[in-house]
């Protein structure tokens, strides 16, 4: 699925690495073209499919974007959700949406990753013995 060129993919991977640099939280980006259901439900499906619920501290975050249908969602795992307020991701969503409105999907994702990393480090600071539990590459899905 050629949604992003190599430079754009590299930029997103670097943003994931940067976001995780100061937190033990684990962030993934999941992209597909179409989403025929509620984006939160679809994100939850991929969250489990990508084994994001298997991190040690249950502090995984998934940013899901359906590029053609122009839908997106951000979900966090149980360890994170029990610590943060209900509207925890609202500013991330709003800043991403500001870029998406103008067709700049990559910049929206990069912005979302930066803010998510800042938020995560408040609740899950980087651990000296911490390891990267999830891949930093983009998960391209085909809608199945």
74 belongs to a structural domain: yes
C-alpha–C-alpha distance, residues 92 and 109, integer Å: 10
Q: What is the pLDDT of residue 126?
A: 87
65 belongs to a structural domain: yes
52 belongs to a structural domain: yes
Q: Which residues of the chain have pLDDT under 70?
A: 1-2, 130, 143-144
Q: What is the pLDDT of residue 137?
A: 92
State pTM to two decimals: 0.93
Where are the strands (E) in 40-132, listed by range? 60-66, 71-76
Q: What is the pLDDT of residue 2?
A: 65
Q: What is the pLDDT of residue 144?
A: 53
**How many structural domains are present in the chain?**
1
Question: Which residues span the domain enclosing 54?
Answer: 6-139
103: domain CATH number is: 3.10.310.50
């Amino acid at each position: 699925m050629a949604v992003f060129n190599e430079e754009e993919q590299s930029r997103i991977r670097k943003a994931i690495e940067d976001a995780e640099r100061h937190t033990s939280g684990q962030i993934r980006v999941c992209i597909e073209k179409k989403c025929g259901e509620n984006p939160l439900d679809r994100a939850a499906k991929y969250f489990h499919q990508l084994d994001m619920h298997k991190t040690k501290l249950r502090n995984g975050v998934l940013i899901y974007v359906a590029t053609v249908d122009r839908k997106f969602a951000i979900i966090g795992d149980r360890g994170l959700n029990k610590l943060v307020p209900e509207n925890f991701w609202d500013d991330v969503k709003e800043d991403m949406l500001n870029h998406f409105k103008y067709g700049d999907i990559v910049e929206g994702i990069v912005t979302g990753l930066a803010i998510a990393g800042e938020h995560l480090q408040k609740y899950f600071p980087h651990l000296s013995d911490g390891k990267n539990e999830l891949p930093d590459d983009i998960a391209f899905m085909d809608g199945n």
